[in-house]
Structure 1
Amino acid sequence: MAEADAAGEKLLIIGGGSNVLIGDEGFDGTVVRVETKGNSYHVDACSGGMITVAAGEDWDEFVEWILGKGFVGLETLSGIPGTVGASPIQNIGAYGHEVSEVIARVRTWDRKAGAYKTFSNSECGFEYRSSVFKREKDRYVIIDVTFQLKNGEMSLPIKYEELARALNVKLEDRVLVEQVRKAVLSLRALKGMLLDKKDHDTWSAGSFFVNPIVSADVAATLPADAPRWPQADGRVKTSAAWLMERAGVKKGDCFEGAGVSTKHVLALVNNGNAKASDLIELARSSRKAVKEKFGISLEPEVQ
């Protein structure tokens, strides 16, 4: 990368590529895929486990492995596609928890400075589905991520209603981590969020849009039954899927070779012969419908 940058070459750096949509014209440059492997960890009686993982490791394989080693904290993030290196960029999250809760530090290659740089958790600038690495996406390349996890058999508190119902427990209850992982994988499969090569409904990048966070005034204009999750800064998060469905976007809608999943309206899928332009047009029309109905602009999660 340093040599390519010095030569002024155009670079596209990806991990698993699960959150990237490549245009029909391709990329006029060099694609670098991060496939570095390896991990190390040590256990401390006070701090628990400090686990450093190479950026190219598969995310869900790492989650399964670390839960099997007796650590807790990543169970609700089971089944998310992509690599470990992508996890801090997006600040991936699911079912009430985010990876920023357990990241201790992130080691990067700073392309601008031409040197390695390590970020503490507070320096990562974590926000909902964002970080300094996403906001300056062409500058930092993730080398490895260090997680701080607790030892134990019981999960983090259950904070998501749907998951609590699936586990038949109350919010804030703790259950065995393997039960949480099993329930999360089951829920994701029902929504078409686990890849099945035989099922076009799973040929997607997962959720195409992030849940919007709006001002309290904007949230007050939404219908009474709109989901609302108050944020620490006074703003309110609502559901992108709810907005899309109320704006007339339906599961199974199609445009050329692209479609809205029949299982989950947030997933835009390849029905077998989709072009990138088909998906872009479907996303554009979905955003337009929500903007016209509610005055809210949906932000794509897929880049």
Structure 2
Amino acid sequence: MTSPRIADLTTAAVGGPARHYVRAGTEQAVVAAVAEADAAGQELLVVGGGSNLIAADTGFAGTVVHVVSQGVEVLADDPRGVLLEVQAGHSWDELVARAVADGLVGIEALSGIPGTTGATPVQNVGAYGQEVAQTIELVRAWDRHERRVRDFAAADLAFSYRDSALKRSTVAGSPRFVVLAVRFRLEHGADGSPVRYGELARLLGVEVGERAPLGRVRETVLALRAGKGMVLDPGDRDTYSTGSFFTNPILPTGALGQRLPADAPRFPVVDAAGRPVEDRVKLSAAWLIDHAGFGKGFGLPGTRNEVLDLDGGAVAGGRASLSTKHTLALTNRGGASAQDLMALARTVRDGVASVYGVDLVAEPVIVGTAV
């Protein structure tokens, strides 16, 4: 099989060729491909939906294992809810759509997120007040160090904001633990989980903490994401991205400094169980980017950052820009390279740091290059 370009496997559509490429459609095939690469001493990159990956223009000199395993199995249906086991390569949004159609509650606010199910526990995927840590019961993974399959209970994964033990053991896109399947515990119900996100609650016509019909939650989240260019659409260049490029900064309350204005949004920080984390505050990366002068579409010809006196079109020749719908997404306008995206990311990161003294951290896995 001719090795594809990594650009063809990712939503940002950048990245050079893979030296070796294996398409793995079952758990056994994933394990075999990973074990073979390790035995040969090759570097390893595991790719699912490619929605959170940026690889260098030079490509990847090792083996790319493309996980495409499919399937959802009901393991239990009892008063505690429904226990689903989902293969790592299964489309995440297809799983959410099925759960909503079947009246299963707990992941409806995560509608429209691209990528595969196996990626969700790695970075504790979350949006609109939900995150997968709230419903994951177990993750089955191949341990490359011990060369065996291991089961991890949710408590073993040490989930936190966009982070987990799985992510912390991954280096330059190469994981110690390769996810094979994920088990979710979902509740039966006609209404979704209590709405925890103000914008979503307002559009649903409920108060924060109240519930809304399951199907309406999904429809509203999909509309919200589409309005921000966060639902994949081949005809919309704003969706050629990794979604939100920077995480919302979490800082000690005493470290906010004098440069952050009083009207800058601040949010409470909670752990995976929903308990408040004392002495920590979450800031809005989108607000910081926008108010540091990087408006929607910055990077396109004719755009400027008046705060820092920067010419947007000069950053990457107009090939990469912030989304025209949402300042958190860095987009490939057509013909962008990984180097173009990194130049834009550095410009935004350094600009926010210079204006507000806050360091933004990239969310995607970045391989072979750096912000």
SS in 2 for 1:29: strand
Opposite residue 264 of structure 1, the aligned amino acid is: H
Quote the offset at 1:43 in angstroms. 4.0
Residue 63 (structure 2) pairs with residue 25 (structure 1): no
Opposite residue 97 of structure 1, the aligned amino acid is: Q
Opposite residue 5 of structure 1, the aligned amino acid is: D
Quote the offset at 1:37 in angstroms. 1.1
Q: Match for residue 156 of structure 1?
A: 193
Residue 203 (structure 2) pairs with residue 166 (structure 1): yes
Question: In 2, Cα distance between the equivalents of 1:145 and 1:27?
Answer: 27
Q: Match for residue 284 of structure 1?
A: 346
Query: Do the aligned partners of residues 124 and 169 (structure 1) sit closer, same or farther apart at CA in structure 2, a change above 3 Å counting?
Result: same
Q: Which residues of structure 1 form unaligned runs of 5+?
A: none
Residue 220 (structure 2) pairs with residue 187 (structure 1): no
Question: In 2, Cα distance between the equivalents of 1:210 and 1:155?
Answer: 26
Q: Match for residue 246 of structure 2?
A: 209
Report sequence identity in percent: 49
SS in 1 for 2:264: coil
Question: In 2, Cα distance between the equivalents of 1:198 and 1:46?
Answer: 45
Aligned match of 1:275 in 323, 337, 348? 337
Question: In 2, Cα distance between the equivalents of 1:218 and 1:15?
Answer: 37
Question: In 1, Cα distance between the equivalents of 2:205 and 2:292?
Answer: 32
Residue 262 (structure 2) pairs with residue 224 (structure 1): yes
Offset from partner CA, 1:219-250 (integer Å, 9 cap, x none): 36421111111221321011001011111111
SS in 2 for 1:299: coil
Question: In 1, Cα distance between the equivalents of 2:74 and 2:53?
Answer: 31
Normalised by the size of structure 2, how large is the TM-score?
Answer: 0.80
Q: Match for residue 242 of structure 1?
A: 287
Aligned match of 1:262 in 303, 306, 324? 324
Question: In 2, Cα distance between the equivalents of 1:238 and 1:292?
Answer: 16
Matched pairs, number:
303
Opposite residue 276 of structure 1, the aligned amino acid is: A
Quote the offset at 1:46 in angstroms. 2.3
SS in 2 for 1:262: coil
Question: In 2, Cα distance between the equivalents of 1:158 and 1:87?
Answer: 20
- Aligned residues of 2:103 and 2:214 also touching (Cα < 8 A): no
Give the CA RMSD over aligned residues.
Answer: 1.1
Opposite residue 215 of structure 2, the aligned amino acid is: E
Q: Match for residue 252 of structure 1?
A: 297
Offset from partner CA, 1:72-128 (integer Å, 9 cap, x none): 100000000100000000100010111100000100000011001111010011010
SS in 1 for 2:279: coil
